Chain A
């Protein structure tokens, strides 16, 4: 088990490194000159050269990647216009548009995004599993039909439209703002409530259908018939024997979904005014702030790889038949 996890972590790290190198190549070798963008309209050749030197853009690309990697491990110094700024490890570069190390920016934005995603996921997972189970249990009844068609309806409305409607109409919800969890958990929760509900209820539609399908399959299994033949209550048959079997595939989807939710987070963050990773990356894109963009890509890759790892390890707890050596 431990060996398996170590092996998976090693392969996860290599995936992240490859992502890093590829995106580095794509961004930094692009025809647009980042130094020119930073330099602006009233650019002098000296200033341009100074910026290029400070960003190490005058060095060969391979060396640039090497310096970037080294910065992640030991930190790095940037000097521009005679001022030297230290960027301590893990250094992901320095944002000239915000005058802050990228690591600091991410450290501020990531908790916001993660809070939104994890809170939303908790809502949509449980709401989805519960309503999917209820629908599967009463398959083909009017309640089941209503559940399925409602979930299809919710699914066919674009996510940002729902988010906008909530922002416009659900004014009774507490104002959206971010307070760190550790400072005041109550303010943290109430500030994120609107975002959670939007994310939670729209995605619950998909999870209702996943769970319903998975549950219908589980309830048709032979071991459910065995459970009924034991003389235990129907509720116990469905919620203990059925849900336990139906949950595994849904949890797999959830793990990967959480990673992809980083994309949706952009809408949630912009509409509810929460300065998370999505907002940070979009802003960096508009201003061509390459180090920040790279940081965003890196966070995305790390989260995706990490969630994959968590899903695989969780599987060994969910399904005793999966034994790892």
Chain B
């Protein structure tokens, strides 16, 4: 009844020495072509209480070999927007508008047949909880083989060889034997490795990782992050990394997109956004990270809770929770919805905020508070 977890995790750690991939954020070339281009994406769910805009006009772009981290609280629309990129929303329950271009293909409004060819081949997804995301009644090998054979004409034997090869590449020890195991015979970290093997079996150029380390042990998290980065180098894909862990973002991302109430509030290269954030919501996120060193400090959560998407506040959606609202004249935060614009001379980043001098406020008021 009880899967033998202990033996597995020991081999897992010894087989892959926890190497730390030192990864410097790649600077974006001026003419680097975007592989994923999302513009004015809206995802709307009709409910009994009225339409809910889970994503309200999101735009971003991502070239190959680059990693974008999408950060935000639950319900900010980060998962919903990424599911839309893979065309996973049920057309009967979700209304999607705007444009999602992946390698030149328009995903919004794609036919069921084209979607089938696109999903898993051009773009693949790693889900949050590998325990529930793998089918409990099929062997790990079978599930990888199914993905492979959906997009190639490989024979069963060839596909199985490919599955064994993939399991080896993601660091599963003894893949030839493990390929016939069921998911419950794998440890949590190995399951996520198998999930990654399954997602990458067709060398997709776009990989979406939806909180892939949230359900894992802290000790395994770093290994999985390394693995995703390593596989990204091998395949040369663009990676969208959904997370609410800013520590993870600093480690893996080139770009960062902070989402609030279905839209981007801050977007730009990771060193700039984390080094000199300009949006009060991003400040709140940074402040809410508990300090691991020094005197134990009380936690600093962002006051209030994310708005209900049925009743998004007027003006700036963040204004009820924003402590700098009074700095902006004329009650602008309550009356006018700000645009996502560069707030300073730096054109590579944009912020959705009415504050005139965010850099000064950050230096003067926020920085001293950070641990």
Contacts and interface: CB of A to CB of B under 8 A. Distances in A.
Nearest to B201: A230
A314 B68 CA distance: 48
A230 B133 contact: no
Contacts of B134: 223, 226
Contact of B150 (A230, A241, A319): A230
B121 interface: yes
Contacts of A46: none
B1 A230 contact: no
A231 B135 contact: no
Contacts of B118: 231
Contact of A222 (B119, B133, B198): B133
Interface size band for A: 20 to 34
Interface string A213-256: 00000000111011111111110000001001100000000000
A229 B137 contact: no
Interface string A293-325: 000000000000000000000000011111100
Contacts of A231: 115-121, 147, 150-151
B115 to A, nearest CB: 8
A309 to B, nearest CB: 19
Given A225-B127, A319-B137, A232 B150 contact: yes
B240 to A, nearest CB: 13
A84 B138 CA distance: 62
| Interface majority SS (helix, strand, loop, mixed), chain A | helix
Contacts of B125: 226, 229
Interface string B281-312: 00000000000000000000000000000000
A18 B253 CA distance: 69
Contacts of A321: 1, 136, 182, 184
A322 B115 CA distance: 36
A13 B117 CA distance: 56
Nearest to A245: B137
Given A245-B136, A319-B137, A323-B1, A222 B121 contact: no
B135 A226 contact: yes
Given A225-B133, A320-B182, A230 B146 contact: yes
Nearest to A233: B116
A229 B136 contact: no
A258 B133 CA distance: 34
B96 interface: no
Contacts of B119: 228-231
Given A229-B127, A231-B150, A321-B1, 12 more contacts: A222-B132, A223-B132, A223-B133, A226-B195, A229-B88, A229-B119, A229-B120, A229-B124, A231-B147, A234-B112, A244-B137, A319-B137
26 contacts: A221-B132, A222-B127, A223-B132, A223-B134, A225-B88, A225-B127, A225-B133, A226-B125, A226-B127, A226-B133, A226-B134, A229-B88, A229-B124, A229-B125, A230-B147, A231-B120, A231-B121, A231-B147, A231-B150, A231-B151, A232-B147, A232-B150, A319-B137, A320-B136, A321-B136, A321-B182
Q: Give 6 nearest A-B pairs by CB, closest first.
A: A231-B120, A231-B119, A222-B132, A223-B135, A230-B120, A222-B133
